[in-house]
Amino acid sequence: MSEPLLQAMNLQCERDDRMLFRDLSFSILPGTLTRVEGPNGSGKTTLLRILAGLNDAWSGDLLWLGKPLARQRDEFLQNMMYIGHRPGIKPLLTPLENLRALMAGRKTVSDSVLMQALAGTGLSGFEDVPCRRLSAGQQRRVALARLLIADEPLWILDEVFTAIDIDGVAALESLLVERARAGGAIVVTTHHDLQLPSMQRISLGGGDGF
């Protein structure tokens, strides 16, 4: 698997009459970690949403395994996991129910595996507490528990480190490194100062200030 999973060629996106980026080309190879950088409002989330197929307002080419992504959407969706900054956690459901519902369409997972994943993110004891009673960081961890179960080759993670404590950040970093070493491709945006070996960077321009 040394062929790029995802290739972007001459991506261009305009939002509210403002050019976010143009002539953006890069490849996402298996076993690599890619960090999308840029100041607030430079289009990091927009780029990730474009890569995940959630945003249609762009021009250029996106290739999945060398072929246009739009024509093989099902294969792409089956092999891609996206966690946005609104991670899909229902406040009324418990962490276990949330995780179960999120995995339901992707992979058959037994409840004990789900419990293990929740324990692995430091949520043991909270499995049956409605998520609205959990702190922001804990809710975030419910979504991140997916990382311990997911086996999609491509992960697209928007602001993964938000609201996570120092120990959690360290564990998450090592998880991502392990994952890349095992051959997974990861695309992240973060304001956290992520320093990992062999990291690809995509820098988006942006405004000035401060």
Partner 1 sequence: MASEARVRLRPAHEAIGVLPAMKAVFLRDLKTAFRQHQDLLNPLLFFVMVVSLFPLGVSPEVSFLQQAGSGILWVAALLSVLLSLDHLFRHDFDDGTLEQLVLQPQPLFLLVLAKTLAHWVLTGLPLVLLAPLLGVMVHLDGNSIAVLCLTLLIGTPVLSLIGAIGAALTLGLRSAGVLLSLLIIPLYIPVLIFGTGTVAAAADGASVGGYMALLGAFLVLALTLAPFAAAAALRISLSNS
Name beta bridge partners: 24: 11
Quick one: which of 88, 111, 135, 136 contacts partner 1 (CB under 8 A)?
88
Query: Interface with partner 1 by CB under 8 A: which range of 33-41, 100-108, 189-197, 201-209?
Result: 100-108
Residue 21 or 82 having the CB closest to partner 1: 82
Q: How many residues bind partner 1 (CB under 8 A)?
A: 49
CB of 144 to partner 1, least distance (A): 11
Residue 37 or 97 having the CB closest to partner 1: 97
* Sign of the CA dihedral with 194 first, then 176, 98, and 119 last: negative
CB of 10 to partner 1, least distance (A): 20
What are the start-end ranges of the H helices in the chain? Answer: 44-52, 73-78, 95-104, 111-120, 136-144, 146-149, 166-181
Q: Footprint of partner 1 on residues 119-178 (CB under 8 A)?
A: 120, 130, 148, 151-153, 171, 174-175, 178
DSSP 8-state secondary structure symbol assigned to residue 93: S
For 142, phi then psi, to 5°, come to -60, -45
Q: Taking a C-beta distance cutoff of 8 angstroms, is the pair 190, 182 a contact?
A: no
Tokens of 151: 């086996």
Tokens of 179: 């994952």
CB of 210 to partner 1, least distance (A): 27
Quick one: which of 2, 17, 66, 105 contacts partner 1 (CB under 8 A)?
105
- Cα distance between residue 23 and residue 11, in whole Å: 5
By CB under 8 A, residue 12 contacts partner 1: no
Quick one: which of 22, 40, 91, 135 contacts partner 1 (CB under 8 A)?
91
Question: Which letter, b or e, does each residue of 21-51 get, where b requires 16 or more Cβ atoms within 10 Å of its Cβ?
Answer: beebebbbbbbbbbbbbbeeebbbbbbbbbb
Residue 95 or 153 having the CB closest to partner 1: 153
Q: Footprint of partner 1 on residues 29-68 (CB under 8 A)?
A: 30-31, 52-57
- Cα distance between residue 77 and residue 134, in whole Å: 30
Quick one: which of 6, 33, 80, 202 contacts partner 1 (CB under 8 A)?
80
Q: Site residues (CB under 8 A) for partner 1?
A: 1, 30-31, 52-57, 74-75, 77-80, 82, 84-93, 97, 100-102, 104-108, 120, 130, 148, 151-153, 171, 174-175, 178-179, 182-184
